[in-house]
Amino acid sequence: MQKQIDKLIVESLQGDSYTKHDEAFRVMYQHFFAGVEAFIVGNSGSSEDAEDTFQDTLVAVFNNLRKGNFQLQSSLKTYVFSISRNLWLNKLRRQGRMVNITSEHEQIKIPENQMNILLKGERSEIIADLISKMGEECRQLLLYFYFDRLRMKRIMELMGFSSEQVTKNKKSQCMKKLRAMATKNVIFKDFFS
């Protein structure tokens, strides 16, 4: 019975119907959230932390299922719990909080490529947050370059710099500031070294 429910959820999320997506998320929430919440609350978290982590988990599951080659190797409940667990442990590590993990759930190994996608998403959020804390000129320049993928000449024109070289120098200075900010964040210590 559970395999049939898992299959219906997976098929609904892989399809193009927003109504079916919403229904699949609702069913996942009803069936899986309580276990995730119990784990997070039992391991230095709050109900709000569980809500946030579960939302991130649903996004990760949805993105993974939308890839054409995804194959569920365990029950959907185990897969969802494993992603939530890994997200929560990564958050605790970033915050420098070490805990003895208590869990009665079966655990599966998240494939390296899927874990990298989750970490990349976390890094992107942190980088965007760091950029938003920079001065207006650096923030705008880095957004143009990395997020909008504009060429130096176009950035020069938009920002009123006198030459492409001045624009490159300014980008270099801004990146230095961003690296300094990022290396203070645990998740980036290895990333920028």
Tokens linked to 70: 């995804």
Q: Render each residue's pLDDT in the chain as its tens digit; 193 residues.
A: 678 888 888 888 888 888 888 888 898 998 889 989 988 888 888 889 999 999 988 888 888 888 767 777 778 888 888 888 888 888 888 777 655 454 444 444 445 555 455 555 555 666 667 777 888 899 888 888 877 788 999 999 999 999 999 999 999 999 888 888 877 765 454 444 4
Whole-structure pTM value: 0.52
| Cα dist from 37 to 52, 74, 150, 158, 159, whole Å | 10, 20, 42, 47, 47
- Residue 144 carries which DSSP code? I
Q: Output the pLDDT for position 98.
A: 54
Per the listing, tokens 């229904």 go with 23
Q: Output the pLDDT for position 105.
A: 47
Is 44 strand, coil or helix? coil
Alpha carbon 108 to its chain's center: 19
| pLDDT 10s digits, 77-108 | 888 888 888 888 888 887 776 554 544 444 44
Q: Tell me how far apart the terminal alpha carbons of the chain are, to the nearest angstrom.
A: 49
Question: Domains, the chain, ranges and CATH?
Answer: 2-110 (1.10.1740.10), 114-188 (1.10.10)
Q: Output the pLDDT for position 76.
A: 87
* Largest CA-CA distance found in the chain, in angstroms, rounded: 67
